[in-house]
Amino acid sequence: MSEADFITELVEEIRISKIDSRKLSTSSNLMGMDTRVNAINTWMKNEQYNAIAICGMGGSGKTTLAAEIFNLNKEDFDSSSFVENIGLHNKVHLPELQKKLLEDVLGEKKINISSVLEGTQKIVEVLQWKKVLIVLDDIYDPDDLSIFLGTNAFLTQSKIIITTRRLDIDVWFRSISWRCKVHKIELLDDFESLELLSLHAFGSKVPMEGFENLAAQVAKYCEGHPLSLKTIGSSLYVSDEDPHKRDTMNEIWEDTINSFKSPKGDTDRKIQDVLRKSFDSLKRDNYKELFLDIACFFVDESEDMVAIWGDDIHARSGIKDLINSCLLTVSPDGKLNMHQLLQDMGRKIAGEESKQPAERSRVCHDDESYRVLKKGNGSDKIEGLALDMLKVGHGMSSQAAFKTSSIEVMDNLKLLKLKYVKFTGSYKKFPGLRFLWWHGCPLETMPSGLLMTSLVAIDMRYGHMETFEVPLGLNSLKILKLDGCYKLVSIRSLNRLPNLETLMLRNCSRLIHLSNSIRDLKNLANLYLTCCTKLWKASSSNDIQPLLFLPQSLIILDLSSCNLEYDKDVRVVFRAQSLFNFILSNNPFEYLPKTTELNMLRKLSLLSCEKLKSLPCMPTSLVKLYVDGCKSLESITFQSGRFTLREFSYEGCYNLSEVQGLFKIVPLAKVDKVDLVQQWHWIKEYEYDEVDLVTYKVTKEIDGKIQMLYEYGITSTFLQGTTDQIMISYEYTSSSSDLSFWVPYLHVKNRIQGLNVSCLYRSLGVDNERCVFVKISNRTKGLTWVYNPVVYCKPRVDEDVLWLSYWPIGKILDAGDEVDVNIYVDHGMIVSGCGVSLLYMDGEIENEEVIGDLSEFKVATGAYYLCRCDIFGKMTSCWLNWVFGDNIDYPETQGWRNTLQRCIGSSKPDFSKRILLRVNSNSKRETSKMLKAVSAVSGVESIYVGKGTLQVDGRPEHLDPVEVIERIKKIGIMAEIILIS
């Protein structure tokens, strides 16, 4: 197969299935199976791994995927065995499973086993002398593995596939010195989900006419969960033979969808049984309680919130166990996520405590919470209650006001989570809450009794308060969130919060005063002031005294979208005592502010700072840098003179031509002839020639003249339309994309300095010209480099592009070494030829390596992938296995991803402000007047009208929520802010 054919096949994700009459039975409708199979088949060929664990929540398709892998690979082994549903068996029945496994792999029908120990010994003996494929399905307790595989390390050519709901299963394998590859199964995407649901509901891959919207709602609810899609789809099967029955089924579909949202809704028993196994298998009761707390109250909240809800250490260990049990995930920004079906299961379990919501410890269904507060019949058994007035059902007024006495009767209430709820009455007898959420709180001042001394977290986002005066006694408070309080002008007496760790004031667009006693908060770690534009401008006339002294304890400081333009705007003094993260995204400054010391800077985010010109002398402590959308940025340098970032993202930096230690792009016209490789002096004659350079949307479409590219120590350039006579001057040439040669024996005075490598390629007229690679292998020494330049020349149909590259690797080229050179291009291009010459010099060699440290790009022993763009996406592992061979360690050594750009074509960061309002517009005329009024507000870029809602988007530094709502009320329409983001 040619390289072009391979890349085409990779992109199209084609797999040729084997035919085997003795295959395990699997569904013929396996949505999205090809890509999932390809990923595991890659590891099946890797001799470094003895075992592969397919992990995921119950019903996610682990067993189906294992069966497909088993069917495809069993013929490559001496024998095989698939041991199903191990988790369903009592441990006393495990010897029967041992017997079944031995009978399969030995081909004998009657095998006698007197004990579990004897069965284990026989299995281990077989694995040592036979090459067998074994699937151990539904392993939850890692100790069960020892019954099949023993407890001591041994050599084997066999492969073990495990399906499990435990992500930490590899820990057991490490105890016997085996390498286990953990593969977390991906749930189906939206398209695959709709196909699978439709197959079972309509007998076709597309929804039946009239059911399109209903099918989409069901698929969305299932969130890619295969078992649910199949089970619910089958229960809602619609035949097109009886039109009358179709009308009836339409109503049944609607009732089913409504039941998803109801506390009395009942998920199919088969689905519930599968999901509940993971919950029931949790070994600690406090982990089960933690799961229920998260399902009822903490989904989409931060991990830190849960940690302080329970005992910090035990809560964090519990979160870790829930993650390992595939019951919980954590997003990159630290938010807790749970699959909708698991959350529904958790809430259902919580509801089993009592048929009466008022007699449960957790009341989290909005309709039930509404009734408890309306009737005032709560009890001392309630410890947590949640109510979102925007989600209450029919017959319940979203404008209803409850009596505070309905809360007072809940003596043991510790957590109250309210959204847009209104109360009447006194707050003096409120119970001793630990957590208070009250989004959209209508109170303009905090009444006595509401903020009690027991509180550890307050979240009052989108409230109406104008001044927040911290009361005495909040010594235990650790988290204070006032995001989106668009009327808030002043925050006072912060020194009364000695244990505060997180202060969030994002989108407080009218805030002009923040208590300077913030300097005294020795435990403050996280400070978010996003979009607080007036906080800085309010004191801009004061050129002597800084606005704020910040505590040295800060770990995260967020000043993004604050309209900071000059040094005098950043009126803070901050000297960190430990590594910290600084977020300055979407600000109009040209240079970094000087008021904050950066010596302890760990992470710097400057997304969409469009006027930023340079980043000189970045500190050695910096490990993460994000500058996407900084279209004026030209250069980045480091104090150490070396590139040591662990993560670096720079998409849309249209003028970026140098990142010290990473890459540098210089017009050939600015390079002296003496600084060129000796064999390249001739290219100066073409320095003003035009070339069509492209860069994977990393930097701009560079000046059309010839450029010199320097990266990884490699020097390269592209010439367009140059005659192929240049190949005549090379020592070794080929009219194809591959060549091999042996390094010749040389006179003692001649030393090899490096390699000149060139190739000619052109377009085939197909719109698929995304990448060029060169692979150099010193087969004798076992060293391989695959290089993809950050800049390349887009070819034309009628003429060749000449790619010249110089590799200073002379120190690792010795006489007699066999060297291969391969050029890879996308299937829209063709290679016309390639050539290699050795460059010699007298004396010692100055450049000993391609780059000082290539460990970040190592994908196997002696193999390095020098590429900064994720060209192949999910198929990258297959590409690396093909180009380097099967024994790569790709999933564990992802260093090459540290400076990775997003997949080609991804969008730039969006920093627009979004205001969501609830509006009472009764006619098209009123709506038209409202749109006209809001359009006149400064900073508005777009408006969307929904049912009872209005969404306004615009520039964060100009769009004022107060002005928007006042304009609407001025024309006689009631409006209330729901969300500012």
In this prediction, residue 359 carries a pLDDT of 94
**Kind and range of the H or E element at 817?**
none
**Residue 608's Cα: distance from chain center in Å?**
20
What pLDDT, on the 0 to 100 scale, is given for residue 890?
52
Predicted local distance difference test score (pLDDT) of residue 904: 40
pLDDT confidence of residue 405:
92
In the prediction, which pLDDT does 686 show? 84
- What are 685-701's pLDDT values in tens digits? 888 888 888 775 444 44
Percent of the chain with pLDDT over 70: 87
* Choice among 75-89, 376-390, 962-976 with the minimum mean pLDDT: 962-976
What is the rounded distance in angstroms from the CA atom of residue 579 to the CA atom of residue 557? 11
Q: What is the pTM (predicted TM-score) of this model?
A: 0.82
Residue 750: the pLDDT is: 67
Q: What's residue 892's pLDDT?
A: 41
Closest CA to 191 of 228, 227, 229, 232: 229
Q: Return the higher-pLDDT residue of 466 and 677.
A: 466
Count Cα neighbours of 575 within 13 Å in the Cβ-side half-sphere. 0
| Residues whose CB is less than 8 angstroms from the CB of residue 312 and which lie 6 or more positions away in sequence, other chains included | none
pLDDT in tens, 884-932: 876 676 544 344 454 544 444 444 556 677 888 888 877 888 888 888 8
Q: What angle do CA 717, 721, 722 make, to 5 degrees?
A: 70
- Rg (C-alpha) for the chain, rounded Å, is 33
> What pLDDT score was predicted for residue 911?
64
Burial 359-378 (b: 16+ CB within 10 A, else e): ebbbbbbbbbbbbbbeeeeb
Task: Tell me which residue has tokens 């694995």.
Answer: 127
With left for phi above 0 and alpha for psi between -120 and 50, is residue 713 left, alpha or beta?
A: left
Angle formed by the axes of helices 190-202 and 212-222, nearest 10°:
120
Residue 11 reports pLDDT greater than 60: no
Per-residue pLDDT of 749-764, as tens digits, reads 567 888 999 999 988 8
Residue 836, strand partner residues: 732, 757
Q: Which residue has the higher pLDDT, 543 or 752?
A: 752
Q: In terms of Cα–Cα distance, which of 981, 920, 914 is closest to 953?
A: 914
Q: Strand, helix or coil at 520?
A: helix
pLDDT digits (tens, 9 = 90+) for 152-209: 878 888 899 999 999 888 888 888 778 888 889 889 888 888 888 888 888 888 888 8
pLDDT digits (tens, 9 = 90+) for 597-625: 888 999 999 999 999 999 999 999 999 99
What's the rounded mean pLDDT across residues 716-735?
Answer: 80
Q: Are 585 and 911 in contact (CB under 8 A)?
A: yes
pLDDT value, residue 910: 63
CB 482 within 8 A of CB 463: yes
pLDDT in tens, 379-392: 999 999 999 988 88
Query: Quick check: 529 pLDDT over 90?
Result: yes
Other beta carbons within 10 Å of 466: 13
Q: What is the pLDDT of residues 287-346, one digit of tens each?
A: 999 999 999 999 999 988 898 887 766 788 899 999 999 999 998 888 999 999 999 999
Residue 519 exposure: Cα atoms within 13 Å on the Cβ side: 10
Tokens of 359: 């007699």
- CB of 233 within 8 A of CB of 204? no
Say how far apart CA 970 and CA 859 lie, in whole Å: 64
| Spatial separation of the C-alpha atoms in residues 574 and 582, rounded to whole Å | 11
**Mean pLDDT of all residues in the chain?**
83
pLDDT beyond 50 at 814: yes
pLDDT for res 749: 58
Looking at residue 957, what is its pLDDT? 67
CA distance 856 to 895: 4
Tokens of 472: 């005495």
CA atoms within 13 A on the CB side of 340: 13
Burial of 485 (0-12, 13-18, 19+ CB in 10 A): buried
Give the whole-angstrom CA distance, residue 396 versus residue 388: 12
Q: Is 355 left (phi over 0), alpha (psi -120 to 50) or beta?
A: alpha
Distance CA 860, CA 888 (A): 5
Residue with tokens 């060929």, as numbered in its chain: 45
